[in-house]
């Protein structure tokens, strides 16, 4: 079993990954280890509960949202390879080092409603090349397919790192010495599945194609799909994606009719694109119901999207229902 450093050495040589990109990802991982220590201690280090502040999306922040965000910003700013940062918890991008060649985007702590109840949460990250010229919001507005690395750290029963440099996906487990050890390489999401994840409490607000799709699944072997489906909902997208990476499944957070101006709940730049790259690198698919997620041209840092991801057959079927 390779340590994370050994993996980086071999993987970067084999795939010609620049050392500046490796260094950028190493800084993300250093920050995540620090976040993991805070998450693990919970009430013992006084990090649970509300921060008493809100973010740009109008969501109440938890103390750990704020702490994780600051750890990532402080750590990444000291890396000369990082030109700028964008975070789900920040109104605007944060400039870092003028000479840096990379941009890092992150959701510091995904699954906020689970922070205080000891259920899996995670940090999601995306790395882009900085375009030439001065740093501006537009520098970050690149399609998901332009990402040069992406992944997540899942603070669950184990702390896991899941990473892709676009040469497959690698999974690492944090050991007792605080070192990530590679525990799975090149996982593949099965093309077919009989497991789905959706917040069914929103059912009456879904558009007709999603209503039809979920009704098909619920009908089980008595319906057109002719097999029984099981359902899971953790309410941490990062945990749902990890389950799908390990055993397949389909995850949906569809568009909601309540607010037609909102394309969905989840964020394109901090959640859908990085998790989408992981999913696609493992043979799965991701769509906003109509287009390939990774080909959407972003229009704003905090843009929201509908998300359907996971096993290729189910994601393809949902797209067909939207034609």
Binding residues for Mg(2+): 88, 107, 109-110, 271
Other beta carbons within 10 Å of 173: 15
Binding of ligand FBP by 50 (CB under 6 A):
no
Q: Which residues pair with 171 in a beta bridge?
A: 162, 184
Pairs from 262-266 (Cβ < 8 Å, separation ≥ 24)? 262/304, 263/288, 263/303, 263/304, 263/305, 263/306, 264/288, 264/304, 264/305, 264/306, 264/307, 265/304, 266/237, 266/304, 266/305, 266/306, 266/307
| Minimum distance from residue 243 beta carbon to ligand FBP (Å) | 12
Q: Which of 5, 49, 59, 230 binds ligand FBP (CB under 6 A)?
A: 59
Q: Cβ distance 91 to 305 under 8 Å?
A: no
Q: Which of 237, 275, 278, 293 binds ligand FBP (CB under 6 A)?
A: 237
Q: Cβ distance 81 to 129 under 8 Å?
A: no
| Residue found under tokens 């990530």 | 180
Q: Which of 6, 113, 118, 208 binds ligand FBP (CB under 6 A)?
A: 113
Binding of ligand FBP by 210 (CB under 6 A):
no
Q: Cβ distance 248 to 120 under 8 Å?
A: no
Q: Which residues are annotated as a binding site for substrate?
A: 110-113, 199, 265
Which CB atom, from 136 or from 233, has the smaller least distance to ligand FBP?
Answer: 233
Q: Cβ distance 280 to 145 under 8 Å?
A: no
Binding of ligand FBP by 111 (CB under 6 A):
yes
Interface characters, 2-21, with ligand FBP (x: CB under 6 A): --------------------
Q: Which of 6, 78, 188, 199 binds ligand FBP (CB under 6 A)?
A: 199
Identify residues 246-265 at the interface with ligand FBP (CB under 6 A).
253
- What is the rounded distance in angstroms from the CA atom of residue 236 to the CA atom of residue 114? 7
Q: Which of 38, 69, 81, 112 binds ligand FBP (CB under 6 A)?
A: 112
Q: What strand order describes the sheet that includes 285-287? A: 230-231, 195-197, 250-253, 307-310, 285-287
Binding of ligand FBP by 179 (CB under 6 A):
no
| Minimum distance from residue 39 beta carbon to ligand FBP (Å) | 14
Q: Which of 107, 182, 195, 314 binds ligand FBP (CB under 6 A)?
A: 107
Summarize as ranges the residues that interact with ligand FBP (CB under 6 A).
59, 107, 110-113, 199, 235-237, 253
């Amino acid at each position: 079993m390779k340590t994370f450093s050994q993996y980086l050495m071999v993987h970067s040589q084999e795939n010609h990954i620049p050392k500046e990109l490796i260094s950028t990802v190493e800084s993300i991982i250093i920050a995540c280890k620090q976040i993991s220590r805070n998450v693990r201690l919970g009430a013992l280090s006084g990090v649970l509960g509300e921060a008493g502040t809100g973010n740009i999306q109008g969501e109440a922040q938890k103390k750990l949202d704020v702490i994780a965000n600051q750890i990532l910003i402080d750590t990444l700013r000291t890396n000369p390879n990082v030109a700028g940062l964008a975070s789900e918890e920040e109104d605007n991008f944060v400039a870092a080092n003028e000479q840096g060649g990379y941009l890092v985007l992150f959701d510091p702590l995904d699954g906020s409603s689970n922070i205080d109840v000891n259920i899996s949460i995670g940090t999601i990250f995306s790395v882009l090349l900085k375009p030439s010229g001065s740093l501006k919001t537009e520098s970050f507005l690149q399609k998901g397919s332009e990402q040069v690395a992406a992944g997540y750290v899942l603070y669950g029963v184990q702390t896991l790192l899941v990473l892709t440099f676009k040469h497959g996906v690698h999974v690492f487990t944090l050991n007792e010495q605080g070192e990530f050890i590679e525990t799975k390489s090149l996982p593949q999401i099965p093309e077919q599945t009989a497991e789905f994840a959706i917040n069914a409490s929103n059912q009456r607000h879904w558009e007709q194609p999603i209503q039809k799709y979920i009704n098909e699944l619920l009908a089980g072997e008595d319906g057109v799909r002719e097999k029984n489906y099981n359902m899971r909902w953790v309410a941490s997208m990062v945990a749902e994606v990890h389950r799908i990476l390990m055993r397949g499944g389909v995850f949906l957070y569809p568009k909601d009719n309540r607010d037609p101006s909102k394309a969905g709940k989840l964020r394109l730049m901090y959640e859908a694109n990085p998790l989408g790259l992981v999913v696609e690198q493992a043979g799965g698919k991701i769509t906003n119901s109509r287009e390939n997620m990774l080909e959407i041209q972003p229009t704003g840092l905090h843009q929201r999207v509908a998300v359907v991801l996971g096993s290729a057959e189910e994601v393809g079927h949902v797209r067909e229902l939207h034609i």
